[in-house]
Structure formats: structure tokens, C-alpha cells
Amino acid sequence: MQTARPVPAATVVNLRDLGGISLGRDRCVRPGAVLRSGQLSGLDAARDAAVTALGIRTVVDLRTADERSAAPDRLPPGARLFVADVLGDNPGVAPARLRALLADPPAAQQLLGGGKAEELFAQTYRKIVLSPGASAAYRAFIETAADDRARPMLFHCTTGKGRAGWATALLLLIVGASREVVQAEFLAVNPVVRTTFRPSVQGFLDAGGDPEIAAAIIEVRPRYLAMALDAMDERWGGLDGYVRDGLRIPEPVLERLRSQLVVAARPEPVTGGR
């Protein structure tokens, strides 16, 4: 199943172009318009021609104030920064504490031991859907994505998997992707995230940390996405109610987003035969 195209970047983690993701009926997401990644604190534009070549106009930072202060973004040339803090009304939740948890096995065990790790992270995804502060951030994210003056747009959290994962799921659902396609993209970041955090995880394990806790911290899992979708369905009756009543996105914004991001899919090249 088609997922986002990885962009080979030397100084940005988990950089992916959503262009080409299938929306069914010979349609797909417009290439080069919307990209996702981890934080840009390590971006070196002089060394990373692949990022500069994207022509990014807007960077949407989904992180908390503490995360932004500790590791401020370095913007691509010509880009402007737009902050949409998803966890602003609850900054202590797990996604914002990922590195801190890996650095402190006893604290991780106290908070996440005994099988609590996956449950805590799963509940975080539910809170992201139900939180008024998160809803305001995701509304701003969608409105920015719908603005042709803001694209190409790059959005990110810390690792590009959690808050950026739900942002990706939301955008794809709005433009017509199936839940199967959304889940495939949601899970597709795991190999890169595991590689990125391998040294931290190894240090965590060497210090006696629980491997299951480490896995629950760094990975995204089908249950995490399911918790977010279930919260959306239970509270608002599905995507339409969530977008209309939860996020309060005006219909003209949705129409503009769809008209500008949905394009005809290119036919697959024919190989072999005659």
C-alpha cells in the first residue's frame, strides 16, 4: 500500500512527502505540497540541499513551548514558522517527555511499568482528539494546509510520529483516504523512529530498562490510532462531526483543501512483457 515518500535528508529526521498517497478512484495527494518530519533543530541548510530544494514556505511546529525552547527549529531558507501547540493545555503528557523517559529507567518503570506503557500512550491519543487545546491546534494546521500561499508546508512534532501522526491521519481522512491507507501511513514511520532512537533505547536497556516500555515509548501502534478514531466516532459520530463540531473548520476551508491537494494519480509504469 502506498505510503508517504521518504525524502533523503541529512539533518532532518523522518522527512516524508505525503504526495502520491492513494485516495482511491485514481486520485492521490498532490506531490510536494505537504510534508511531515521530526523537529528541525538539527537542520543545516548548507549541508542539506534536499531540504532546501523542497521550497518550503511554512513550517508548522506542533510541539510544546518547553520542547521549542529546548530545541528551537532552524527554518529552511525563506520559510516562516507557525506554532500549533497540540499539548499546550497538558504539556506533561507522554509524547512531550519521550527522551526524558528513556533517560531515566526508574522513572519510566514507576510511570509505565506493569503493562501501563501502551495504555498510557493509547490514552494520550484519545486526549489529543478530545482536548479543546489540541482541537484548536489541529484546526489551525488544517487551515494552514488549505492556504495555497502557505505551501509547500512542512509540519512536525519531536520525532514526527505522534502529534504529526494524527495530523497526517486527519488531513488524509479529510481529503478522502480510507482508514486502511491512513493506518498504513501511521505505522510506516516505525522503522525510521526505531533507528533514530536505537542509541537511547540501548542505553535505557543497559541501565535495566524494560524492553516493552522502550517499545511502547518509541513506536506507534495500531491501538494508538484506533483510540483516536474511536474517540472521534464516539464523541462526534465520525469524521464529519469531528471536523464540523470538534475542530469547527468552515466548509469552504475543507473544499479548498480538497480541491488543491487531490490530483489525478499517475498510472503505474508497465514493466516487462510486450
pLDDT, position 37: 97
Identify whether the C-beta of residue 61 lies closer than 8 Å to the C-beta of residue 73.
yes
pLDDT beyond 80 at 91: no
Identify whether the C-beta of residue 216 lies closer than 8 Å to the C-beta of residue 109.
no
pLDDT beyond 60 at 14: yes
Once rounded to an integer, what is the mean pLDDT over residues 123-139?
A: 94
Identify whether the C-beta of residue 4 lies closer than 8 Å to the C-beta of residue 188.
yes
Expressed in percent and rounded to 5, the helix, strand and coil fractions of the chain are 50, 10, 40
pLDDT, position 217: 84
* Listed residue (203, 261, 193) closest to 224, CA to CA: 193
Domains and CATH numbers, the chain: 5-264 (3.90.190.10)
For residues 37 and 159, what is the distance between their CA atoms, to the nearest angstrom?
7
pLDDT beyond 90 at 116: no
* Listed residue (36, 91, 37) closest to 64, CA to CA: 91
**Total-model pTM:** 0.92
Once rounded to an integer, what is the mean pLDDT over residues 165-169?
A: 98
pLDDT beyond 60 at 92: no
Identify whether the C-beta of residue 76 lies closer than 8 Å to the C-beta of residue 68.
no
- CA dihedral (145, 147, 148, 151) in degrees, to 10, reads -40
Identify whether the C-beta of residue 128 lies closer than 8 Å to the C-beta of residue 228.
yes
Identify whether the C-beta of residue 164 lies closer than 8 Å to the C-beta of residue 12.
no
Question: What percentage of residues in the chain have a pLDDT greater than 70?
Answer: 93
pLDDT band at 274 (very low <50, low <70, confident <90, very high): very low
Identify whether the C-beta of residue 41 lies closer than 8 Å to the C-beta of residue 7.
no
pLDDT band at 2 (very low <50, low <70, confident <90, very high): confident
Q: To the nearest whole number, what is the mean pLDDT of the chain? A: 92
